Amino acid sequence: MKLNWNKRKKSEAASKIFRSGVYSAAVTALVLVLVILLNLIVRAIPSRYTEWDLSEAGLYTLSDNSIEVVKNLTQDVKIYYLAETGNEDVILSKLLDHYAAESSHLSWELKDPALYPTFATQYGATDVTNGSLILVCGENSTVLDAADLYEEDYSNYSLTGTSNVTFDGENKITSAIYRLTSGEEHHAYYTTNHGEQTLTDTLTSALENQNLTLTGLDMLSDSIPEDCDLLVINNPVQDFASAGALVDEMSDLRSYLSRGGKLLITTDSYNRTPNLDALLAEFGLSRTEGLVVEGDSSHYMNGYPTYLLPDYASAVESGVLDNVDKNRGVLLQMAQGIALTETEDVISEALLTTSAEAYSKTAGYEMTTLTQEDGDPDGPFTLAAYARNENTEAEVIWIDCGNMDNEGIYQVLPGNVTFLQACATTLAFEEGTTLIESKALEAAPLEVSNSTSVALGLTFVIVLPAAVLAAGAVVVLLRRRK
């Protein structure tokens, strides 16, 4: 009997072990299935809900402008990313994922040039480099070269001796999508035959990226076209002809403004243009005699007080500065001040201003010293101004510096082209533009004071280790007493 009882106990124990094993295996299998299902569900969720952009500049996050452009798509846009498989730019591929997540009308595909060597040629791209993008919408296409997606920013070179690489891909991609799908072109004309400074390739490209076509205009032979959304006068050497001349250019210019025209003008104090000055005076804008000299060393460059680094004003009427990164400085060489005078039916405001330490050398280019003398007026001065006639809705932006649009300056301070682009697009478009700032790849260094550094050092090297040792000693003593 005892033997049978032992056998029965062993059998029951074995049965319990078996049941326990089966239960554990079933639970393990269920957990594995749930983990796999959870992983599949998470993978199916768009990355914008499962990934967080922790980069300081928001490299992997689309701006509101980009989201609006993509969400409003009614046509299919395909983006081909030309890159070697496995060597894709993470920033770019992640950004393309975000574009695709915003609209079913947009998708992207990787095309390895090694596997598809002739793919780009069907879109007229014969010499594109790895990392370039081809955007296709119906029969239309455009190519964004890899080199144009990044740019060098020398804004702080004079202080640090180094430059920063910034990512301009979002601006280029969104602008290209807008150009391909908007169907509406805006027209800007720039005047010629007055010795005007030719618009730089950089500025021309920046404006064309905003779907703004640029065409030269000789007002001695042609009147301002009806489709002119913006007229640009870039640092004329000669004045515009008025009544009594063979062609009355000023009459045509006033007629254009009377029907709500938009004017972007840059001038140099060296060139005398009394007819244009009279037109600007109708908007309450006039020149301050002389050339501006900055007295605050933080507001001029490389020890040259006439190389001005102005402040952005608190402009609210124009909207020009809404899309401008105000951390990006602009440089105005040999600039003249602008006086704003209260004028009936006209609203005006400053866009760029000097510090209060600035003064104007009335001798201008004939000055023999940079020191302020009797008769040299004190600042601050307005260097760029906006004005609007409330009756006609005509708008004017005047920058009293003939060297604002300059390729050499753009290599030092990209803020110049950004500012000019904002001025032009704000005037030309009644609605918001696709202007998007480039984003710094490097995070700004974290600055810690000496006292804070010492306090942190003591905390992590002495205080916290001592606290851990003390807690351990207490635990050991309590266990020994038990």
Looking at the predicted structure, is the pLDDT value of residue 6 above 70? no
CA-to-CA distance for 188 and 357, rounded, in angstroms? 38
Residue 164 within any structural domain of the chain: yes
CATH number at residue 424: 3.40.50.880
Residue 475 within any structural domain of the chain: no
Bigger pLDDT: 103 vs 323:
103
Bigger pLDDT: 456 vs 311:
311
**Share above pLDDT 70 across residues of the chain, in percent, rounded to a whole number:** 77
Bigger pLDDT: 340 vs 145:
340
Q: What is the pLDDT of residues 253-275, one digit of tens each?
A: 999 999 999 999 999 989 999 99
Show the beta-strand stretches assigned E in 225-323. 228-234, 262-266, 285-287, 291-293, 300-301, 304-308, 311-312
The HSE-up count of residue 368 (CA atoms within 13 Å, CB side) is 0
Task: Specify the pLDDT at position 47.
Answer: 53
pLDDT band at 30 (very low <50, low <70, confident <90, very high): confident
Task: Specify the pLDDT at position 122.
Answer: 87
Specify whether 271 is located in the same domain as 133: no
Residue 205 within any structural domain of the chain: yes
CA-to-CA distance for 281 and 338, rounded, in angstroms? 11
Q: Which of 120, 148, 183 is the last residue of a domain?
A: 183
**Share above pLDDT 90 across residues of the chain, in percent, rounded to a whole number:** 44
Specify whether 219 is located in the same domain as 177: no
Q: What is the pLDDT of residues 425-442, one digit of tens each?
A: 899 985 545 555 555 444
Specify whether 220 is located in the same domain as 361: yes
Specify whether 207 is located in the same domain as 268: yes
Task: Specify the pLDDT at position 370.
Answer: 93
DSSP conformation class of 383: E
- Average pLDDT across the chain, whole number: 82
Residue 450 within any structural domain of the chain: no
Contact 92, 62 (CB under 8 A): no
Whole-number Cα distances in Å, 113 to 89, 110, 126, 445: 15, 9, 12, 38
The verdict on whether omega for the bond into residue 380 sits within 30 degrees of 0, i.e. cis, is: yes
Task: Specify the pLDDT at position 10.
Answer: 56
- Would you give the distance in Å from CA 406 to the centre of its chain? 19
Residue 412 within any structural domain of the chain: yes
CA-to-CA distance for 345 and 393, rounded, in angstroms? 10
Tally of structural domains, the chain: 2
Specify whether 306 is located in the same domain as 334: yes
Residue 36 within any structural domain of the chain: no
Q: Position 148: which residue type?
A: D
CA-to-CA distance for 235 and 233, rounded, in angstroms? 6
Highest mean pLDDT among 122-136, 204-218, 289-303, 463-477: 289-303
Mode of pairing for the β-strands spanning 300-301 and 304-308: antiparallel
Over range 1-15, report the average pLDDT. 56
Q: What is the pTM of this model?
A: 0.69
CATH number at residue 73: 3.40.30.10
Task: Specify the pLDDT at position 429.
Answer: 81
Specify whether 157 is located in the same domain as 287: no
Q: What is the pLDDT of residues 343-366, one digit of tens each?
A: 999 999 999 999 999 999 999 999
pLDDT band at 174 (very low <50, low <70, confident <90, very high): confident
Q: What is the pLDDT of residues 46-83, one digit of tens each?
A: 555 555 444 444 555 777 778 888 898 889 999 999 99
Whole-number Cα distances in Å, 365 to 54, 140, 239, 268: 50, 51, 19, 11
Residue 326 within any structural domain of the chain: yes
Q: Which of 133, 155, 183 is the last residue of a domain?
A: 183
Bigger pLDDT: 66 vs 289:
289
Task: State the Cα angle at 76 between 57 and 138, rounded to 5°.
Answer: 120
Q: Which of 130, 158, 183 is the last residue of a domain?
A: 183
Q: Residue 293 belongs to what domain range? A: 185-435
Looking at the predicted structure, is the pLDDT value of residue 95 above 80? yes
Q: What is the pLDDT of residues 384-426, one digit of tens each?
A: 999 999 999 999 999 999 989 999 888 778 889 889 998 998 9
The HSE-up count of residue 419 (CA atoms within 13 Å, CB side) is 30
Mode of pairing for the β-strands spanning 338-340 and 359-361: unpaired
Task: Specify the pLDDT at position 65.
Answer: 77
Q: What is the pLDDT of residues 300-324, one digit of tens each?
A: 988 899 999 999 998 777 778 886 7
